[in-house]
Structure 1
Amino acid sequence: MKRMMAITIAATTALAACGAAEPGEAAAGEASGDSLPAVTSADPADLSDGLITCAMPDFDGKVGLTTTERFILIDGQPKRYSDFQNQAFDLCQAGQENCALKIENGVIRMDWTSANGTRSRYDVDLGTLDIAAYRTDPGTAERSVAFRDGAKCVREPLPEGLEIM
């Protein structure tokens, strides 16, 4: 029972990191406002149009749980991607607080805080296709989230019939 509850909580948190603001969430500003460590691509960044899929097996030490983040690069700008709807969309609504999706020094940086105050951050190096995941629970310091060694993102051409929102 405890294991199922932990998996449910982890899955819910991972899903929350994937999309739009939850109902009733404030909308005003950009990412959390605190300074994040600078990031820079380890190799020359490939900013060409494409789909980037990042699967992170055994996410946060939970064997069998794979969290997947998908991004579309269009004209050098990142968008979130829903393979269910074949849509590229903006992660953040205009003026949404505690939400950012941008490219910084050749790295896609997704930073999102849920209504309950849990912050999820992902950095995808567009040169090496490595991904790093971080989590901050309310009242705690940011921590790195582990997943299976060797996991990398995969770059593919843009999907046919892609709808850009």
Structure 2
Amino acid sequence: MRRAVAITIGAGMIAAGTALAACGAAEPGEAAGDSLPRVSSAAPADLSDGLITCAMPDFDGKTGLTVTERFILIDGQPKRYSDFNNQAFDLCQAGQDNCALKIENGVIRMDWTSANGTRSRYDVDLGTLDIAAYTTKAGEAERAVAFREGAKCVREPLPEGLQVM
């Protein structure tokens, strides 16, 4: 069971979320038990508070399928966002294996492995707002996931009435 303290934040606070809301976390930066390639922002990273929405149209070659990942930054730390509940939350629970959400060298890195062994990784460059998506199925090598060329993330103010969990 997840414990959380809700804090309501006023004017302009935003966040984003997906079905990954139920997952928990290892130490920040620890994920999937293996080392990931180092990443760094291609431009000066904007770590100011805000909502970052990343829509990836034609995800994995599927025309008409758009996968959207949403993050918020609060005090320089990333969280996931549920627009349904207007809540920002930690992606991972303390001590959870195969889950991480952190900022590394100006890049938000989300890395999560599902119970069936499928690993999803997203890197969002906070300087350029470019996103890269990767997946690894159990027993296979990691591969980049394609989506419509030119897709970028969008930064907005935090939403009114945001609850931080």
Same fold (TM over 0.5): yes
Q: CA RMSD in A?
A: 1.5
Contact kept? 2:71, 2:80, Cα under 8 Å: yes
Pairs within 5 Å for 1:12-23: 18-21=20-23
Which residue is 2:82 aligned to? 82
TM-score normalised over the length of structure 2 = 0.85
**Aligned ranges for residues 94-109 of structure 1 at < 5 Å?**
94-109=94-109
Partner of 1:54: 54
Which of the two has greater helix per residue? 1
Provide the aligned length of Structure 1 versus Structure 2.
Answer: 146
Runs of at least 5 residues in structure 1 that lack an aligned partner in the other structure: 1-14
Q: Which runs of 5+ in 2 are unaligned?
A: 1-17
What stretches of structure 1 move > 6 A for 4+ residues in a row? none
In the TM superposition, 1:78-157 aligns within 5 A as: 78-157=78-157
Alpha-carbon distance in structure 2 between the residues aligned to 1:113 and 1:51: 24
Percentage of pairs with the same residue? 85
Q: Which has the higher contact order (CA 8 A, sep 6+)?
A: 2
Asked whether 1:69 is paired with 2:69, we answer yes
> What is the CA distance between 1:109 and its match in structure 2?
0.1
- The separation in 2 between residues aligned to 1:156 and 1:139, in whole angstroms, is 39
In structure 2, the CA distance between the partners of 1:28 and 1:108, relative to structure 1 (3 Å rule), is: closer
Aligned partners of 1:36, 1:65: CA distance in 2, in Å? 27
